[in-house]
Amino acid sequence: MSGSSSVASSASPIASQIPLAFDHVSHWYGDVVAVNDVTCSIEAGITGLLGPNGAGKSTMLQMAAGLLAPSSGTVRVYGESPLERPSIFRHVALVPEREALPAMLSARAFVEARAVLLGLRDPKLAALRALTTVEMDTVADRKVGGFSKGMRQRTKLAAALVHEPTLLLLDEPFNGLDPRQRMHMMRLLEDRAREGTAVLLSSHILEEIEGVASRILVMLSGRLAASGDHRTLRRMMTDRPHTVRIRSTNDRTLASVLLSSPTVMGVDIEAGALMVRTVDYTGFAHHIGAVAQGASITLLEVQPTDESLEHVFAYLVAR
Ligand SMILES: Nc1ncnc2c1ncn2[C@@H]1O[C@H](COP(=O)(O)OP(=O)(O)OP(=O)(O)O)[C@@H](O)[C@H]1O
């Protein structure tokens, strides 16, 4: 492997190949079907792999990284089976969700160790370049044990980038990051994507990935439930019946006013709250304030009851 393997150029034999393709892929652990007959492909740019815990995201990423064999179907990385052609790993890196970083090592030592393992010609230079990319070069000699979650994530990312992979797989990379660290990570991934890297990142939170991923694959119970850009997925979620719980200073009057609103399908009065069913959540959310104000009612609480991911996914799957 070269010391500065670079992003696939047009002359590279891999440039004409799809970075990652799953064809009717399943994986089961004993009796547990973790991934069930998934067919999809990942192009250059950023793709989000969205799904609740246990949906099969990590299993997908591990198969893409060649760490797990599919139980059936085929996984192709640049047209090759990662299990049959390990040399393809010069182009691939996985940033796992859970990976204990050795607390006593400096970030530089950790990243250099990976560069040595990968057989890079100049491990020190490769490590410095990767640490600079993730803006960890100034703290590179500090011990990992004292790092914040964000710094540890960036150190893992530097280790993954040390050989300049063209297919970058990240398992829940935003987990535990504060908003500033999250923005920084997004910017980094966008930079990689702009330079031609295919990035596949998993998350269980749509808001986390919709701003950064141009395409989102939704997984549920091992199956590919939906795919599209974030607008398509958002539309699937908002153009469906919602139930909103409302508490106000005058629930009964508010109920009768709301019933004449075209966005409201029905209102149930429960102990201390109204349960309002609407088909147009966006329109409803937009107008509820003015409707209450017009009736001299103060809203104490407006809370969608079915915004949980499970409902969203259940809805997507039922379509
Ligand atoms: N090593 C294993 N042995 C047995 N079952 C497993 C193993 N790894 C995962 N599973 C099961 O396979 C299913 C998919 O798990 P996977 O970790 O791929 O999902 P995930 O979407 O990444 O969820 P999470 O975000 O919680 O990791 C789950 O039911 C999980 O319990």
Distance 46 CA to ligand 1 centre (A): 23
pLDDT at 101: 82
Best residue among 32, 217, 223 to mutate for probing ligand 1's pocket (most ligand atoms within 8 Å of CB) is: 32
Looking at ligand 1, which atom is closest to the CA of residue 60?
18
pLDDT at 232: 75
Best residue among 27, 58, 202, 221 to mutate for probing ligand 1's pocket (most ligand atoms within 8 Å of CB) is: 58
Classify 237-318 by CATH class.
alpha beta
Distance 134 CA to ligand 1 centre (A): 29
Distance CA 274, CA 251 (A): 7
Distance CA 303, CA 243 (A): 9
Residues of the chain with confidence (pLDDT) below 70: 1-15, 234-240, 306-319
Distance 59 CA to ligand 1 centre (A): 7
Domain ranges of the chain: 14-235, 237-318
- The C-alpha angle 41, 75, 8, rounded to 5 degrees, equals 65
Distance 222 CA to ligand 1 centre (A): 9
| Ligand 1 binding pocket includes 57 (Cβ within 6 Å) | yes
Residues 6+ apart with CB under 8 A from 38: 22, 24, 25, 26, 56, 60, 73, 219, 222, 223, 224
Contact 163, 120 (CB under 8 A): yes
pTM to 2 decimal places: 0.76
- Phi, psi at residue 47, to the nearest 5°? -115, 135
| Ligand 1 binding pocket includes 258 (Cβ within 6 Å) | no
Contact 34, 200 (CB under 8 A): no
Partnered with residue 169 across adjacent β-strands are 94, 200
pLDDT at 283: 78
Contact 44, 200 (CB under 8 A): no
Looking at ligand 1, which atom is closest to the CA of residue 222?
14
Distance CA 207, CA 134 (A): 23
CATH architecture of 14-235: 3-Layer(aba) Sandwich (3.40)
| Ligand 1 binding pocket includes 201 (Cβ within 6 Å) | no
pLDDT at 315: 55
Angle between helix 251-259 and helix 281-294 axes, rounded to 10 deg: 130
Distance 29 CA to ligand 1 centre (A): 9
